[in-house]
């Protein structure tokens, strides 16, 4: 295993692990605040119980996310010194601002958790608002860095001497890609977390626990799903148009477009074959790719065959990942639509067993879409770590023993995953015990 492969593998594993917890850290506090706000408004005990339960889960997942995020920060310095030498002085500002947002979130999580019996109900609810606000702000600053890697701005770079000049940190932060990337990732975090949480309560209802607690939880989650699922498609369309204009190679790799052509077809499914320059077993819709990218069915779409072989990303991975992302999003949109229709016709929270099963099955697909989307984003930029500025091979460390780093960090993530599962199982058991005790008392 080469140093570049080992470093990329470790970074990929770390990001794949951390992005789940950072997404939950963005979205779960909003569910928590909504539940407590509903309790203040209605005095319904189910909302209070939900707020306390989601607060505990948010605290556990926040802690795991903090550990995995810290490990990831160390990895950037250890594995990618060439990148940090350029990026540190150019795009360091959002890293610093993310730190401020993170500390605000951490402070108010402490106040929120320990303030249930010490603050007035309204003051306690207000203490939750900074958590719900700081999470997406913190995540947004980190995505700004990734956007800069895809659309570098705010500096001049001499690859021969390695000199970085004319630095403008504000221009670097607010590069051309920051808006579409931040919006797309933030909506994805809300959608994925809401779907995964809804699946938990759909499972409970399928097991016969159709009490007010489960119905209220499902109602809150489905409301967020209904709002975010269509918004994500709109955001995705904006992203695709941005890539068509600014990252033509990534756009072609996503869509399996090898030939430069007008009236380019949209390919649904299929397996790209780089040796033949074709996509096998796909379904084509004539002119649709040209329209999606440029708003004109006759627009010219640049193909991969016009790109030097050494500068082509791995289409055989990127195209299927993109299909997984879009397919997962489509499934979630259909679940949202079915939930709206059911709630409108029946005037109640969806409780049909088939719809509950659909919600349960869709649970992992939000995070699957996020993971697949990041595969598209990162692999689609290769072989560059900073698009058209620095190649990944030139940014990696020359220090030996990267396989030891890889094994150590993989062990760390496995341990953290085991801890999360254990803590959440303990919480689920505690909730079941409380419900059983409540039922006995009522009897």
Tens of pLDDT, residue by residue over 52-107, are: 999 988 888 888 888 778 878 878 888 888 888 888 889 888 988 988 898 899 89
Q: Residues 239-248: what's their mean pLDDT?
A: 92
DSSP 29: H
Q: Residues 99-125: what's their mean pLDDT?
A: 91
Q: Would the pLDDT of 416 be above 80?
A: no
Please check whether residue 7 is in contact with residue 51, taking contact to mean a CB–CB distance below 8 angstroms: no
113 to 117, 153, 169, 257, 381: CA distances (angstroms): 10, 41, 37, 51, 41
Q: Residues 426-437: what's their mean pLDDT?
A: 56
Q: Which of 137, 43, 155 is nearest to 91 (CA)?
A: 155
CA distance 163 to 320: 38
CA distance 131 to 124: 12
Please check whether residue 360 is in contact with residue 206, taking contact to mean a CB–CB distance below 8 angstroms: yes
Q: Residues 312-322: what's their mean pLDDT?
A: 93
Burial class (CB within 10 angstroms; exposed 0-12, middle 13-18, buried 19+) of 57 = buried
Buried b (16+ CB within 10 A) or exposed e, 12-33: eebbebbbbbbbbbbbbbbbbb
Alpha helix stretches (DSSP H) within 91-211: 92-114, 121-150, 169-173, 178-206
Query: pLDDT for 1-57, tens place per residue?
Result: 677 888 888 888 888 888 888 899 899 999 999 999 999 999 999 999 999 999 988
pLDDT of residue 440: 37
pLDDT of residue 161: 80
**Where is pLDDT greater, at 418 or 335?**
335
pTM above 0.85, yes or no: yes
Please, what sign has the CA dihedral across residues 205, 208, 210, 213? Answer: negative
Q: Residues 283-297: what's their mean pLDDT?
A: 90
Tokens of 273: 């074959």
Tokens of 7: 């470093």
CA distance 94 to 225: 29
Return the residue matching tokens 């990337």.
181
Q: Residues 360-377: what's their mean pLDDT?
A: 94
**pLDDT band for position 428 (50/70/90)?**
low
CA distance 402 to 7: 7
pLDDT of residue 442: 39
CA atoms within 13 A on the CB side of 204: 20
pLDDT of residue 441: 39
Please check whether residue 264 is in contact with residue 304, taking contact to mean a CB–CB distance below 8 angstroms: no
Q: Which of 383, 251, 374 is nearest to 304 (CA)?
A: 251
**pLDDT band for position 360 (50/70/90)?**
very high
Listing DSSP states for 372-396 in one string gives: HHHHHHHHTTTTEEETTTEEGGGTS
């Amino acid at each position: 295993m080469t140093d570049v492969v080992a470093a990329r593998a470790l970074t990929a594993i770390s990001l794949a692990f951390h992005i789940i917890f950072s997404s939950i850290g963005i979205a779960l506090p909003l569910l928590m605040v909504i539940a407590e706000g509903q309790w203040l408004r209605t005095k319904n005990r189910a909302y209070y119980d939900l707020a306390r339960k989601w607060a505990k889960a948010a605290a556990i997942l926040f802690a795991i996310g903090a550990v995995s995020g810290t490990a990831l920060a160390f990895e950037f310095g250890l594995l990618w010194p060439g990148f940090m030498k350029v990026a540190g002085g150019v795009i360091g500002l959002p890293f610093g601002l993310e730190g401020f947002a993170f500390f605000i979130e951490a402070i108010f999580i402490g106040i929120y958790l320990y303030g249930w019996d010490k603050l007035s109900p309204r003051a306690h609810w207000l203490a939750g608002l900074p958590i719900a606000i700081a999470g997406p702000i913190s995540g947004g600053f980190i995505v700004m860095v990734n956007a800069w890697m895809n659309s570098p701005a705010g500096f001049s770079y001499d690859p021969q001497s390695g000199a970085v000049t004319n630095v403008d940190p504000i221009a670097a932060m607010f590069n051309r890609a920051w808006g579409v990337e931040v919006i797309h990732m933030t909506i994805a975090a809300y959608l994925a977390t809401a779907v995964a949480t809804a699946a938990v309560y759909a499972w409970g209802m399928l097991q016969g626990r159709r009490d007010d607690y489960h119905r209220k939880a499902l109602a809150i989650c489905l409301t967020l799903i209904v709002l975010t699922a269509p918004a994500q498609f709109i955001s995705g369309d904006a992203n695709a148009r941005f890539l068509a204009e600014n990252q033509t190679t990534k756009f072609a790799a996503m869509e399996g477009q090898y030939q430069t052509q007008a009236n380019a077809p949209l390919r649904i499914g299929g397996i790209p074959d780089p040796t033949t320059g074709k996509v096998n077993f796909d379904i084509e819709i004539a002119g649709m790719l040209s329209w999606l990218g440029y708003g004109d069915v006759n627009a010219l779409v640049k193909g991969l065959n016009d790109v030097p072989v050494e500068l082509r990303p791995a289409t055989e991975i990127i195209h299927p990942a993109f299909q997984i992302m879009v397919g997962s999003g489509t499934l979630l949109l259909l679940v949202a639509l079915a939930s709206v229709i059911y709630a409108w016709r029946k005037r109640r929270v969806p409780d049909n067993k088939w719809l509950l099963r659909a919600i349960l099955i869709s649970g992992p697909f939000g995070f699957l879409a996020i993971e697949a989307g990041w595969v598209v984003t990162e692999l689609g930029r290769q072989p560059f770590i900073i698009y058209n500025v620095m190649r990944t091979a030139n940014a990696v460390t020359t220090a030996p023993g990267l396989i030891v780093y890889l094994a150590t960090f993989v062990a760390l993530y496995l341990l953290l995953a085991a801890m999360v599962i254990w803590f959440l199982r303990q919480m689920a058991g505690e909730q079941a015990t409380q419900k059983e005790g409540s039922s006995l008392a009522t009897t």
